[in-house]
Amino acid sequence: MADLSINFAGIRAPNPFWLASAPPTNSGAQIHRAFEHGWGGAVWKTIGAPVLNISNRYGGLSIAGQRLLAINNVELISDRPLDVNLREIAEVKRMWPDRAVIVSAMVDADPQAWKDIVAMIEDTGADGIELNYGCPQGMSERGMGAAVGQVPEMCQLNTHWVTSITRLPVIVKLTPNITHIVDPAHAALAGGANALSLINTINSVMKIDLDTLRITPNIGGRGTHGGYAGPAVKPIALNMLAELMSDAQVRASGVPISGMGGIVTWRDAAEFLLLGATSLQVCTAAMHYGYRIVEDMIDGLSNWMDEKGFATIYDVAGKALPQTSTFGELDLAYQAVARIDPDKCINCNLCYVACNDTAHQCIDLVAGDGVRVEPGYDIRANGKHVADTRPQPVVRESDCVGCALCANVCPVDGCIEMVSVPSGRESITWDQLTAQRPEIATSWDAMMAYRKEVGIDIH
């Protein structure tokens, strides 16, 4: 049985699944219930300056009948009085000594304001502080949240104000609403951050109601941008995590990273771990299904780790990182081609139309007698038996560029495989090639000469 416990910058938890600072962590009663369901920790919904929330706050993304593939919110930080939150934090920590209780905070960019709130957080007995430099709406207009996170100097200064006065581990939560995620990360490290977490929500307008023509959520006839989160943002979060974990300075610092952004199942969790996160935060999935989802997260992750022979979270952490690379480091001689398994093919012919219309026209429709045919049918023919005489899609491997579009559109698992084939060329990367022959990067004639030389024919 795998050991899921973590020690994250000194914050201990029985498993890596923490509820992110958000509506699911709004009160002591909620977190108490969440811990009963097994969550390893919780980052208390951000406390700080007085706010007034508005109605309504959430927009949902549905695709093809599947609800809440993402949610966006125009919710602010906790609207409960500071003293109430602080008292409940202390109560929860007292009742659950083995769980991680981290307090998210956000105050004016002023050293005294930070000093005041840090002292109050320390008094609760909480295990750590997370600096919310991410809120993209409502607070940023007041000079907090993303307004700090988007300016590295502010990020460093505010972090320093906190780390210089507290004994608690300080996690800096980064905003994705920035061009280079490593810039604020470096700033946070320079400010003394003990850990990083990402991603906060992404600026978004979720949708326009086609009946009312209004922006959703409709707030008294007006709409505003909100913070985008949920399953749909996972690839963005994974990329930013990979960027951080691939950065020499971040790695050298040794600070752990708490990953979040679209974690719904243990499978998502495992992906974040494989890219180097060592604690995981969850919000939208809990908002969609309730706290109970953590049971399968723990159980599924544990079973997968057992099957893979991983004893601890730290055995998993970062296992996929060595593969992260830049385009310039990829092997230009690598060649894959699509291969369709005729026994698995159900003849939907989506690969054919995708390749023919939008890729490289290298899939043919082949009739039972082996003759290539055009799409179409005899209008006098009908009945279910027409399915038996459907032409089969077949890849012309000599023309296949290995783009993998067909494999992505194929609805049958394992029907179209991208198979590695010898290209007959020496391995070389773009960086190596252009170092040897810089003219290839600037002259089409040189490029064409090189292709001819090594036998690359682009039809």
Locate 289 and state its tokens. 């299904």
Residue from the set 164, 302, 347, 429 that interacts with other proteins by CB under 8 A: 347
Which of 133, 228, 272, 352 touches other proteins by CB under 8 A? 352
To other proteins, the closest distance from the beta carbon of 338 in angstroms equals 16
Question: Which residues, 6 or more positions from 263, have their beta carbon under 8 angstroms from its beta carbon?
Answer: 234, 269, 272, 280, 281, 282, 285
At 292, list the tokens. Answer: 């109970």
Residue 135 annotated in active site: yes
**366 vs 357: CA distance, rounded Å:** 18
> Which pair of tokens denotes residue 245?
């974990």
Nearer Cβ to other proteins (211/369): 211
Position 371 contacts other proteins (CB under 8 A): no
- Considering only residues 383 through 402, tell me which ones interact with other proteins, judged by CB under 8 A: 383-387, 390
Candidates 90, 219, 350, 401: give the one binding other proteins (CB under 8 A).
350
By the rule CB under 8 A, 309 interacts with other proteins:
no
> Considering only residues 239, 246, 349, 432, which one is a binding residue for other proteins as defined by CB under 8 A?
349
Q: Residue 319 has which token pair? A: 């296992």
Contact between 300 and 2 (Cβ < 8 Å) = no
CA distance 171 to 150: 16
- Rounded CA gap, 11 and 338, in Å? 47
Q: Going by C-beta distance under 8 Å and a sequence separation of 6 or more, which residues neighbour residue 193? A: 131, 159, 163, 170, 171, 172, 255
Residue 405 engages other proteins in binding (rule: CB under 8 A): no
Contact yes or no for 233/262 (Cβ under 8 A) = yes
Closest to other proteins by CB, 33 vs 390, is 390
Shortest Å, Cβ 377 to other proteins: 4
Half-sphere exposure of 192 (CA within 13 A, CB side): 15
Q: Which of 90, 157, 321, 353 binds other proteins (CB under 8 A)?
A: 353
Which H helix or E strand runs over 313?
A: helix 313-316
Question: Do 424 and 334 touch, CB atoms closer than 8 A?
Answer: no
Q: Per the structure block, which two tokens stand in for 430?
A: 């773009």
- Residue 381 interacts with other proteins (CB under 8 A): yes or no: yes
29, 119, 346, 367: residue in contact with other proteins (rule CB under 8 A)? 346
Residue span binding other proteins (CB under 8 A) among the ranges 173-181, 232-240, 371-379, 428-436? 371-379
Rounded CA gap, 100 and 117, in Å? 19
- Nearer to other proteins among residue 221 and residue 376 (C-beta): 376
Which of these is catalytic: 135, 355, 362, 400?
135
- Which amino acid is located at 61 in the chain? L
Asked if 222 is part of the footprint of other proteins (rule: CB under 8 A), the reply reads no
Q: How many residues bind other proteins (CB under 8 A)?
A: 23
Closest distance of CB 223 from other proteins, Å: 21
Q: Which residues bind other proteins (CB under 8 A)?
A: 64-65, 346-350, 352-353, 375-377, 379, 381-387, 390, 411-412
Catalytic residues: 135
